[in-house]
Structure 1
Amino acid sequence: MQMKQNDRNRGVAEKGRSFRAATFDLQAILSVPFAGDNQIFYKLKLHVYNLTIFDGSNPEGHCYVWDETHGKKGSAEIGTCLLKYLHGLPETVTHVSTFSDTCGGHNRNKYVAAAMLYAVNKINHLKVIVLKFMESGHSYLEADSMHATIERARKHKTIYTTREWSVLISAARIRPKPYIVNNLNFNDFYDLQKVADTMISNVTEIKEPRGRGRRTKEKRLRETPPDWTSFELLKKFTQSLPVSDKKKRRSITSACRYYTQRLQPIHQ
């Protein structure tokens, strides 16, 4: 916690010019439709995901939103969101320090590490990227406060589409500025497994991976450094993902039928 506070103080002191300290976390699953009606409470709903990144230097809140027809909630999706955040940083930024919890399926894995190695070798102005993981049970992050703000804003709201979630998330905070929302689709996600399998070897459990230019601290470094000059990312998905037949039967069709019957007298 002290290390996180020190990094944030450094970012504030520099006003984010060359150093950024950020925390990130995946919010609990949002659902579509979202309403208080008992008729849809027990229905299977479409899952909507929101990765939040809190930049303590500004402070800015970045939200990356997609639903289950465009992606899953695994490490490839998390790594893709982090890459998009890093690509959006000003060219004056050379050093980025990130904090997250130790969830292996989302944050602490070789695929996210591979994404950060790709970024530090392919984004010219980035020289150092550090991934720091909080101790289990002591992982309060500023990104978690974004989740609480969004949850307060959704009270007594009725939401029928992923786009409506994006609008609500953006407006959940007014001061000092609304959250920056990025809507993602299946074309946006990268195949990070290929990056990890091709460019990383001898991965062991590490607490603070640090990418520095064309080098990275690992338990054992490969004898020949990987060649990043010609390496390009591939897309993870070529088309939108199907919704299971079970979920169609128990969620979308029944919910649409319910609201059609409910709204028909109003239109008449």
Structure 2
Amino acid sequence: MEEGHSYTEVESMPSAIETARRNVKIYTMNDWLNVFHVARSTRGNNKTNGNYTITELLYSDTIDLKYVAANVINNRTTENEGKRVNWLKVKIMRYEKHKPGLIIFKYNHSDLEFKSIRTA
């Protein structure tokens, strides 16, 4: 990923939440949920959109990423052709539902073929 080229539309959400909470006293998690619900950016095309949709998660919905990194993704350094992966130079990553356990990537947009890593 190139530095400075990872902007996504959801990056405006923290700013909208901060603006919505400015004059609100927050004492409980429910207070935060109310702020999240009413926060909405009024810039650009978002003027006509409704409030954010909030989905409350349970503790059982969380994933232990240390466990995943240690036990599910076994290979993070060598591509299928045996060459070392330079993660700082990867420009495109693709995951395909019908190819679980495979990370497909390119170092350049002009490369014709993708390289891949088998993770499991």
Q: Give the TM-score normalised by the residue count of structure 1.
A: 0.29
Question: Which AA in structure 2 matches 1:191?
Answer: D
SS at match of 1:153: helix
Aligned equivalent of 1:202: 75
Q: 1:234-261 deviations in whole A, cap 9, x for unaligned?
A: xxxxxxxxxxxxxxxxxxxxxxxxxxxx
CA contact (8 A) 2:76 2:117 kept: no
CA contact (8 A) 1:202 1:221 kept: yes
1:176 matched to 2:49: yes
Question: Which AA in structure 2 matches 1:211?
Answer: Y
- Aligned partner (choices 136, 142, 145) of residue 12 of structure 2: 145
Q: Which structure shows the higher strand fraction?
A: 1
* Structure 1: 4+ residue segments shifted above 6 A: none
**In the superposition, relative to structure 1, how do residues 208 and 201 fare at CA in structure 2: closer, same or farther (>3 Å)?**
farther
* C-alpha separation in 1, matches of 2:117 and 2:55: 36
CA contact (8 A) 1:202 1:220 kept: no
- Match runs of 1:1-268 below 5 Å: 133=1, 135-173=2-40, 175-204=48-77, 205=87, 206-212=90-96, 213-214=98-99, 215-217=102-104, 221-222=117-118, 226=120
Unaligned 5+ runs, structure 2 = 41-46, 78-86, 106-114
Unaligned 5+ runs, structure 1 = 1-132, 227-268
CA contact (8 A) 1:166 1:181 kept: yes
RCO higher in 1 or 2 (8 Å CA, sep ≥ 6)? 1
**In the superposition, relative to structure 1, how do residues 140 and 209 fare at CA in structure 2: closer, same or farther (>3 Å)?**
closer
* C-alpha separation in 2, matches of 1:193 and 1:150: 29
Question: Which AA in structure 2 matches 1:187?
Answer: S
